[in-house]
Amino acid sequence: MIAYILRLIGAVLFVSWIVGTLVFFLIHLVPGDPVAVMLGDWASPADETALREQLGLHLPIWTQYVHYLTGLLQFDLGQSLFFQQPVSDLIAERFPMTLQLAVMALFVAVLIAFPLGLWAALRAGKWPDHLSMTVSLIGVSIPNFWLGPMLILVFSLGLAWLPVSGAEQPFSWVLPAITLGTALAAILARMLRASLLEVMHEDYIRTAQAKGLPASMVYGKHALLNALLPVVTILGLQLGTLLGGAVITEVVFDWPGLGQLLVESIQRRDYPVVQGCILVISVAYITINGLTELVYAWLDPRIRVAQ
């Protein structure tokens, strides 16, 4: 297990370097000058030159890259060009909001997927199964940028039940969480159904039924626990995906998270903030994947023996 944790740390460091390098060079290829964005169209060339030197943008790109890597080794993500404050402070302010939205979306997805998947598996081949899989297919096919505005039109503007945007009111998270969790719920429901159907034909399930155990114990304890292994993998992968995929949803609902900060920073050509946001999302993704493997090993003793 210690060797596995060391491999995980090594993977995080390697991926961080690859992602940081790619983002650094790609963001510098994006058309636009951050100095021109900050000073406006009426700035004099002298002011632009002075600000460029102040921000270090006059240096060769390889020199800037070395400075960037040196800062990463010191856990320094640099200074925002637009806000003129440390990037780490901006991310620390916004990341909890993105994490909150991702966790709530995961909660919504599990709340929808587990009853739907169980219902479909226990009624396989019948109309509840077909209905559940049709609903899940519709859920995975609807894009966030369409579902979000539709939910706002119905539940915010039409029925006036929930806030339109922002995060100040108590139930502001409901619509963005539903928007973000719908596609995940569809994937989880289909995965749970397939996994349960495979497990329910195993010998130990037939033995439990032959002993006269109640159906709730057979399916709830024996079948469901063993069917959770692939579902846990999907949950871990999708939680990392939710952190990065919340960008569109945060923009639609004006959610003050990391995704909205990333979009705003791209528009402003704020290189350090863009690099910091993508780097944090990437590290969170691979870390969650590693923790998912640890949970997987805890659920399946055979994996612990193999490690």
CATH 1.10.3720.10 fits 87-306, yes or no: yes
CA distance 286 to 16: 9
Which residues of the chain fall short of a pLDDT of 50?
305
pLDDT for 288 equals 78
Query: What count of Cα atoms within 13 Å lies in the side-chain half-sphere of residue 112?
Result: 24
- 3-class DSSP state for residue 79? strand
pLDDT for 43 equals 66
Sequential DSSP letters for 219-271: IIIIIHHHHHHHHHHHHHHHHHHHHHHHHHHHHHTT--SHHHHHHHHHHHT-H
Asked if residues 76 and 88 have their Cβ atoms less than 8 Å apart, the reply is yes
Distances 130 to 109, 116, 119, 125 between C-alpha atoms, Å: 19, 11, 10, 7
- Give 14: exposed, middle or buried? Use CB within 10 Å, 0-12, 13-18, 19+: exposed
36: number of Cβ within 10 Å: 14
Beta bridge partners of 86: 79
Torsion of CA 279, 139, 187, 287, to 10 degrees: 20
Model pTM? 0.75
pLDDT digits (tens, 9 = 90+) for 14-72: 877 888 888 888 877 777 667 666 666 666 777 667 767 776 777 788 888 888 888 88
pLDDT for 296 equals 65
Contacts of 110 (CB under 8 A, 6+ apart): 185, 188, 235
Identify which of 136, 119, 149 has the alpha carbon closest to the alpha carbon of residue 253.
149
Contacts of 138 (CB under 8 A, 6+ apart): 186
Sequential DSSP letters for 191-223: HHHHHHHHHTTSHHHHHHHHTT--HHHIIIIII
Asked if residues 263 and 247 have their Cβ atoms less than 8 Å apart, the reply is yes
Domain ranges of the chain: 87-306
pLDDT for 189 equals 84
CA distance 236 to 234: 5
pLDDT for 305 equals 47
